[in-house]
Structure 1
Amino acid sequence: MRTQFRKKRFWSRWVVPVLSVACFKYFGFHSWSGAYGLESAEALEIRRVELSERLASLTERRQHLERKVMLLSDGAVEADMLDERARFLLNVAREDEVVYFN
């Protein structure tokens, strides 16, 4: 009976560890500096705060506009609202008045 022995090559025992380290580095790099990584978490938090402040201001403006529409659309327009809108749209004021527009 004849047997053949193969001599193990030096690099063959390093293939699996090298590939494992390469995969670990790849995923580690992207978990640190990727689009949703640890570095970008602070930028996302700053953006969230900015957007929540903008949402608050827009909500306040919307509520203000809804109050104005409610005063105009309840069927009986209040006299001062009608007077304010007419003066604003027609650019009419008396000589003794000072008018401030928002």
Structure 2
Amino acid sequence: MWTRHHKARIYGRLVVPAIAACFMSYFVYHSIHGDFGMIAAKQFDEHKELNQRRLDKLVAEREALQLQVKALSDGSLMKDALDERARYSLNMSRPDEIVIFDRDL
């Protein structure tokens, strides 16, 4: 009866660790550079801070506009404020007036 004797190869012992290293490197790469990785989380935080600053600016602008609307409403109608807004919107004045526009309006 014939039997085959296999020669011990060094490559046989390295197959399983090589495959495991490939899988680990795949998951490590995607945990850093993937859609939900560390770099994406950092970019998300930067985008969130930018949007928060925009929101704060818009909220302040909205509050200023609400104060102007409140000043022009029927309950507390101020003739000067109404006249000022009408002149600013229509870009008109009387010939004897000097108009200085403030950029904050």
User: With structure 1 as the length reference, what TM-score do the two structures score?
Assistant: 0.70
Q: Check conservation: 2:70, 2:76, Cα contact below 8 A.
A: no
* CA distance in 2: counterparts of 1:20 and 1:43, whole angstroms: 31
Deviation (angstroms), 1:101: 4.8
* CA distance in 2: counterparts of 1:57 and 1:9, whole angstroms: 72
The CA RMSD measured in Å over matched residues stands at 2.9
Aligned to 1:63: 63
Aligned to 1:100: 101
- Secondary structure of the residue aligned to 1:93 is coil
Aligned to 2:17: 17
Aligned to 1:90: 90
* Equivalences, count: 100
Note closer, same or farther for the CA distance 1:87–1:76 as it changes in structure 2 (3 Å cut): same
Deviation (angstroms), 1:5: 8.3
- Secondary structure of the residue aligned to 1:98 is coil
Any unmatched runs of 5+ in structure 1? none
* CA distance in 2: counterparts of 1:32 and 1:51, whole angstroms: 24
CA-to-partner distance for each residue in 1:5-25, whole Å, 9 max, x for gaps? 896995666554333222111
Deviation (angstroms), 1:59: 0.9
Q: Identical aligned pairs, as a percentage?
A: 33
Letter of the 1:46 partner, please give it.
E
Q: Check conservation: 1:93, 1:99, Cα contact below 8 A.
A: no
Any unmatched runs of 5+ in structure 2? none
Q: Check conservation: 2:30, 2:37, Cα contact below 8 A.
A: yes
Deviation (angstroms), 1:44: 2.8
